[in-house]
Every structure is written in C-alpha cells, then in structure tokens.
Chain A
Amino acid sequence: KQEVTQIPAALSVPEGENLVLNCSFTDSAIYNLQWFRQDPGKGLTSLLLIQSSQREQTSGRLNASLDKSSGRSTLYIAASQPGDSATYLCAVLNRDDKIIFGKGTRLHILP
C-alpha cells in the first residue's frame, strides 16, 4: 500500500532564504509525482509534475527532483518570499490511477 510522507510538517524561514521540502513514498511503481500548493481555505494549485521517467522539473524559482528508486522527491524554493507561505502537498499517481497525497508541509516565510 502506497504511503506518502512529508517532512517537516511545518517550517518557518526568513525571507530570501532558499529552502527544501522533502517527500518520500513507499512504492516506487509510480506513474508520476506532483507538487501542489494549498492556501488556507482554498483549493489546490498544481506547481510541478514530474513523470516517472524524469529526474526533475523547474518552474521559475521552483525546482522539483525525483529519485524513484529511493522513493524520494524534493521541492526546492529559491529566494523565498512572504507570498510563498502556504501548505505544499506532494502527491504520487499510482499505476492504478489513484493519487496518494502526503499530509503536507506548512511553510511560513518570515518577512
């Protein structure tokens, strides 16, 4: 049974710092991995999607990596800004077409 774990559960960093969010999954037979952003009381915004054959994806200040064999992904945020404060969710798409989500990392950027 696929399980997705995100560490840390919460993180506070000063504005301008680079930071890394971690995600691990127990079953490497995934189709893809996706990082989402969720603002309080809002829906999910897709940030980056990495296919199982890819190693990383980049969008602006965000870079996501995938190491399928070790069951790990990281989301790197460069030059953090207060507007980056949100909950970041990692999700894997299993080959049975189900998305399994982690519980998220609550990120707070201190101005």
Chain B
Amino acid sequence: NAGVMQNPRHLVRRRGQEARLRCSPMKGHSHVYWYRQLPEEGLKFMVYLQKENIIDESGMPKERFSAEFPKEGPSILRIQQVVRGDSAAYFCASSPGGGVSYEQYFGPGTRLTVT
C-alpha cells in the first residue's frame, strides 16, 4: 500500500508563472489536507478537502491560491502568478475519513522555488 504521493518533489517557477502541485492520497483515503512550511517556520494548515468538496479553506491566502480534489485523480493545489514569498515546502496529508478520529498521513512534500 503506497503512502501519500506528491509530485513534483521540486518545482522551480519564475515570478508570474503558475504552479500546480499534485497530491495522491493513500488508497482508500477520501480526505486531503494541504500545509505550507515557509523557511524557518512551522507547517501551517491551508485547506481541507473531501472529494469534490472543500471543507475548510480558512488557511488559504485569499488571492492566487486554489485547491481541488476531483472525483477521479489527485488533489491539486494551484498557485497563480507566483511571487518570491510563495517559495516554501508544501505538504499534503490524507485520512480515510473526516474528523479527529482519523490520523493524517503525510506525503514527502513539494518544494517550490520562485526565482
């Protein structure tokens, strides 16, 4: 049973380009969480999704960031018109259900560098 997979592992974008980060949850998991780790900072919650539904996006920046988790395929975190301050490690986690009863399992992260 493969763990949570994220790709790409490293992504370099120039300012103004778009970044698409993908997260494939563990088999049987229907809930995905995205976290961002800025340099020298702790991981911070961004968004929580169930298939075809955003449950909580209270941690998402109001502009340029969006997330989806379609019925088929991976969850996508999309950052439009990237700026240098978006450079960070983005981690996703998945769980088999929603709520505190279910442990979140983390992927290896995508390291985004904006030049």
Interface residues of A (CB under 8 A from B): 4, 31-32, 36, 41-44, 46, 49, 89, 91, 93, 95, 97-104
Minimal Cβ-Cβ distance residue in A for B37: A101
List B59-115 residues whose CB lies under 8 Å from chain A.
Answer: 59, 91, 93, 98-100, 103-109, 111
Minimal Cβ-Cβ distance residue in A for B93: A99
How many chain B residues have a CB neighbour from A under 8 Å?
24
Q: Answer whether A102 and B100 are a contact pair too, CB < 8 Å, given A41-B111, A43-B91.
A: no
Interface residues of B (CB under 8 A from A): 33, 35, 40-45, 48, 56, 59, 91, 93, 98-100, 103-109, 111
Chain A residues, CB < 8 A from B105? 46
Count: A-B pairs, CB below 8 Å = 50
Minimal Cβ-Cβ distance residue in B for A49: B103
Chain B residues, CB < 8 A from A31? 100
Which DSSP category, helix, strand, loop or mixed, fits chain A's interface? strand
**28 A-B residue contacts at CB 8 Å?**
A4-B42, A36-B106, A42-B109, A43-B91, A43-B106, A43-B107, A44-B43, A44-B106, A44-B109, A46-B105, A46-B106, A49-B103, A97-B48, A98-B56, A98-B59, A99-B33, A99-B35, A99-B43, A99-B45, A99-B93, A99-B104, A100-B45, A101-B35, A101-B43, A101-B44, A102-B42, A103-B41, A104-B42
